[in-house]
Structure 1
Amino acid sequence: MTKNSLLITIDSVRLDVLSDDSFPIISTLRDNGDDFGKTFATGPGTTPSFPAMLTGTMPLSYGGLGPLTEERPLLSHRQRQAGYTTGGFQCNPFLSRHFNYDVGFERFEDYQNPLMGIATKVFPRGVEINNPKLRRIDETLHITDFIKKTYQLIKGKPRPYVSADVITNDAIDWLAETESPFFGWVHYMDVHHPCFPPETYRKQYGVADVTQTEVSEWYSDLLRNPETLTEEEIHKLKQLYKAAIDYTLEQIARIITHLKESGRYEETLIILTSDHGELFGEFDQYGKPERMYDELLRVPLIVSNGPPYLEEATDQLVSLLDIPPLIHDTLNLEIPSGYEGQIPGKDAPRKYIMAEHEVEGDIIVGARSEEWLYEGDEIHNEHRLFDLRKGKFEQVSVSEHPEAEEVKSAVLDRLDTLDVDAHDFVDAVDNDVESRLENLGYL
Structure 2
Amino acid sequence: MTNIVLVVMDTARYDSVLVSQAELPTFEFLRERGVTYTSAFASAPWTLPSHGGLFSGRYSSRHGASAAAKRFSKNTPTVVEAFEKASYETVAVSNNTWISDEFGFARGFDTFRKNWQYIQSDVDLGKIARKEEGFNKIRGVTKQLFDGNPIVNVANAVYGQFGRRADDDGAKGTNQWISRWLSDRADSDPFFLFINYLEPHLEYRPPEEYTKAHLPEGVSYAEAMKVNQDAWSYIANDVEMTDRDFRILEALYNAEIAYLDEQIGELQRLLEKAGQWEDTIFVVTGDHGENIGDHGLMDHQYCLYDTLIHIPLIIQGGDFTGGETVDELVQLTDLAPTLLDAAEIAAPEFREQLQGRSFLPNLDTSPREYVFSEYLAPQPSMDALKKRVGDIPDEVYEYDRSLRAIRGKKWKLIRGSDGTTELYHISNDPHETMNLASDRPEKVDELEDELDTWLDSFEHVDTSGTVEMSNDTKDRLEDLGYLQ
Flag whether TM exceeds 0.5 (same fold). yes
Instruction: Give, in angstroms, the shift of residue 283 of structure 1.
Output: 2.4
Matches within 5 A, 1:276-425: 276-307=288-319, 314-335=326-347, 336-344=351-359, 345=361, 346=363, 347-359=365-377, 362-378=401-417, 380-391=418-429, 393=432, 394-397=434-437, 400-403=440-443, 405-413=445-453, 421-423=462-464, 425=465
* SS class of match (2:209): helix
Higher mean C-alpha displacement, 48-57 vs 304-313: 304-313
- 1:191 deviates by 0.8
Aligned to 1:143: none
Paired residue total: 397
Per-residue CA distance 1:217-268 (angstroms, 9 max, x = gap): 5555444438612444322211111111111111110110122223221210
Describe how 1:152-191 pairs up with structure 2 within 5 A. 155=161, 162-178=169-185, 179-191=188-200
What's the CA shift for 1:278? 1.1
Question: What is the TM-score when the length of structure 1 is the normalising length?
Answer: 0.79
Q: Secondary structure at the match of 1:184?
A: strand
Q: 1:215 to 1:76 in 2, by over 3 A?
A: farther
Shifted more, 19-28 versus 317-326: the winner is 19-28
Deviations 1:53-77 (A, max 9, x none): 1221112313342322232221111
* Aligned-residue offset at 1:170: 1.1
Alignment match of 1:201 (pick from 206, 210, 218): 210
Give the Cα separation in 2 of the matches to 1:314 and 1:75: 24
Structure 1 CA distance for aligned equivalents of residues 461 and 416 of structure 2: 12
CA distance in 1, matches of 2:193, 2:460: 35
Q: What is the Cα deviation at residue 386 of structure 1?
A: 2.2
| Whole-angstrom distance in 2 between the partners of 1:218 and 1:107 | 34
Question: Would you say the 8 A contact 2:124–2:473 is kept in 1?
Answer: no
Indicate the SS of the match to 1:94.
Answer: coil
TM-score w.r.t. the length of structure 2 is 0.73
Partners of 2:425 and 2:169 lie apart in 1 by 42
Q: Does structure 1 conserve the Cα–Cα contact (< 8 Å) formed by 2:224 and 2:248?
A: no
Give the distance between the partners of 1:20 and 1:382, measured in 2 at CA: 33
**Relative to structure 1, is the Cα distance of residues 404 and 348 closer, same or farther in structure 2, using a 3 angstrom cutoff?**
farther
Cα-Cα RMSD:
3.4
The Cα shift of 1:24 comes to 0.6
Give unmatched runs, 5+ long, in structure 2: 128-158, 379-399, 475-484
How far 1:115 sits from its partner (Å)?
6.0
Range 186-195 or range 399-408, more displaced: 399-408
State whether residues 278 and 296 of structure 1, in contact with CA within 8 Å, keep that contact through their aligned partners in structure 2.
Answer: yes
Work out whether residues 124 and 472 of structure 2, in 8 Å CA contact, stay in contact via their aligned partners in 1: no
The CA deviation at 1:370 is 1.1
Describe the SS at the equivalent of 1:12: coil
Q: Which has the higher helix share?
A: 1
The letter of the residue matching 2:203 is P
Match status 1:9 vs 2:47: no
Q: Would the alpha carbon gap of residues 72 and 406 (structure 1) be closer, same or farther in structure 2, given more than 3 Å must change? A: farther
Give the distance between the partners of 1:256 and 1:439, measured in 2 at CA.
31
Secondary structure at the aligned position of 1:248 is classed as: helix
For 2:295 and 2:473, the matched residues in 1 are separated by 44
CA distance in 1, matches of 2:249, 2:237: 15
Q: What is the identity, as a one-letter code, of the residue corresponding to 1:209?
A: A
| Secondary structure, aligned partner of 2:87 | coil
SS in 1 for 2:367: coil
Letter matched to residue 101 of structure 1: F
Equivalent pairs: percent with the same residue? 23
Aligned in 2, Cα 1:418/1:384: closer, same or farther, shift over 3 Å?
Answer: farther
Counting only pairs closer than 5 Å after superposition, residues 15-30 of structure 1 correspond to structure 2 as 15-18=14-17, 19-20=19-20, 22-30=23-31
Give the SS at the match of 1:60: helix
Q: Distance in 2 between matches of 1:381 and 1:249?
A: 42
**Aligned counterpart for 1:82 among listed residues 80, 86, 92:** 86
| C-alpha contact 1:372 1:385 (8 A) present in aligned 2 | yes
SS at match of 2:266: helix
Q: What residue identity is the alignment partner of 2:184?
A: E
2:77 maps to 1:70: no
Q: Deviations over 1:322-368 (max 9, x none)?
A: 11111100010014211211112432100100100122695311110
Partner of 1:149: none
Q: Judging changes above 3 Å, is the alpha-carbon distance between structure 1 residues 382 and 404 closer, same or farther for their aligned structure 2 residues?
A: closer
Look up the SS of the partner of 1:323 in the other structure.
helix
In structure 1, stretches of 5+ residues that fail to align are 120-152
Distance 1:217 1:385 in 2: 31
What secondary structure sits across from 1:93 in the alignment?
Answer: coil
